[in-house]
Amino acid sequence: MRRAADPQEEQAMPVKTLRKPKPPPAFTGERADGASIAALHRQAEDCERCDLYKHATQVVFGEGPPHAPVVLVGEQPGDREDELGRPFVGPAGRLLDECLREAGVDRSLCYVTNAVKHFKFEQRGKRRLHSRPNAGEIQRCAWWLAAEIELLEPKLIVALGATALYALMGRSIGLTKYRGHLLKTMNGTPLLVTVHPSYLLRIRDRDEAQAARQAFVVDLARMQSFLPPE
Ligand code: URA
């Protein structure tokens, strides 16, 4: 005959081994859908959105920490950047590094990229002379810049010069008028407007060059409040 059920026995719950909850995975910059700067970079290597890929050595994508609070945007890679495949490693990059240091900003905390990812140049004998990207090239490449910014979600974007400003605002606005100002991008991210370091390299007059460099350092120092304290 079946034993009458003991109500206490019936209520006894199966013993569960409680596991410690797993710590959250370290942030690698990869989103749940697999999108990451590294994946974007790989995609950009096959970019044919405009013709600039035809003559450039390689795509020069942005680089920096995947959670960088500040994104610096230049114009396009130069000769050296094209050879090495890294942004701002030539003369303009060295000047940028010096000025960032003087402004008390650690470049390694920033993500550095360009509005246009291929070097545009004019061949003069053995030399490759920088040539300005046109509006169509900037607009086509803005797709990559927007994708980088969407992934990074920076607290601040710094436009270095008119090409970056055009790419980020989607229209021509006066660099001279807004230089040193904090604007907002189309998506509402604070945007600091300043000159391109190559502009400083082109100034012949020593005093003028010194004053322009000082003003650039003052602009860059505004980045400090968007970076973690040291
Ligand atoms: N000028 C730019 O705008 N970007 C670079 O990477 C180098 C020079």
The CATH number linked to 42 is: 3.40.470.10
Say if residues 164 and 117 touch (Cβ distance below 8 Å): no
What is the rounded distance in angstroms from the CA atom of residue 155 to the CA atom of residue 134?
A: 29
Residue 203 or 23, more confident: 203
208 confidence band (pLDDT: 50, 70, 90): very high
1 confidence band (pLDDT: 50, 70, 90): very low
Task: Please report which helix (H) or strand (E) contains residue 11, including its range.
Answer: helix 7-11
Please indicate, yes or no, if residue 187 is contained in any of the structural domains: yes
Does 199 have pLDDT greater than 80?
yes
Residue 206 Rama label (left phi>0; alpha psi -120 to 50; beta): alpha
Please indicate, yes or no, if residue 25 is contained in any of the structural domains: no
Query: Is the distance from the beta carbon of residue 88 to the nearest atom of ligand 1 less than 6 Å?
Result: yes
What is the pTM assigned to this prediction? 0.87
Please indicate, yes or no, if residue 11 is contained in any of the structural domains: no
Please indicate, yes or no, if residue 4 is contained in any of the structural domains: no
What is the rounded distance in angstroms from the CA atom of residue 163 to the CA atom of residue 97?
A: 20
Query: Is the distance from the beta carbon of residue 197 to the nearest atom of ligand 1 less than 6 Å?
Result: no
What is the domain extent for residue 185?
Answer: 32-224
Please indicate, yes or no, if residue 220 is contained in any of the structural domains: yes
Burial of 6 (0-12, 13-18, 19+ CB in 10 A): exposed
Using the atom order of ligand 1, give the atom closest to the CA of residue 80: 7
Query: Is the distance from the beta carbon of residue 92 to the nearest atom of ligand 1 less than 6 Å?
Result: yes
Total count of domains within the chain: 1
Tens digits of residue pLDDT in 103-149: 999 999 999 999 999 999 999 999 999 999 999 999 999 999 999 99
What is the rounded distance in angstroms from the CA atom of residue 131 to the CA atom of residue 145?
A: 20
Work out whether strand 182-184 and strand 127-130 pair parallel, antiparallel, or are unpaired: unpaired
Does 2 have pLDDT greater than 70?
no
Query: Is the distance from the beta carbon of residue 114 to the nearest atom of ligand 1 less than 6 Å?
Result: yes
2 alpha carbon to ligand 1 midpoint, in Å? 85
Residue 35: what pLDDT? 85
Mean pLDDT score, 53-64: 98
Phi, psi (5° rounding) for residue 83?
-70, -40
3-state secondary structure of 122: strand
Please indicate, yes or no, if residue 230 is contained in any of the structural domains: no
Please indicate, yes or no, if residue 147 is contained in any of the structural domains: yes
Please indicate, yes or no, if residue 6 is contained in any of the structural domains: no
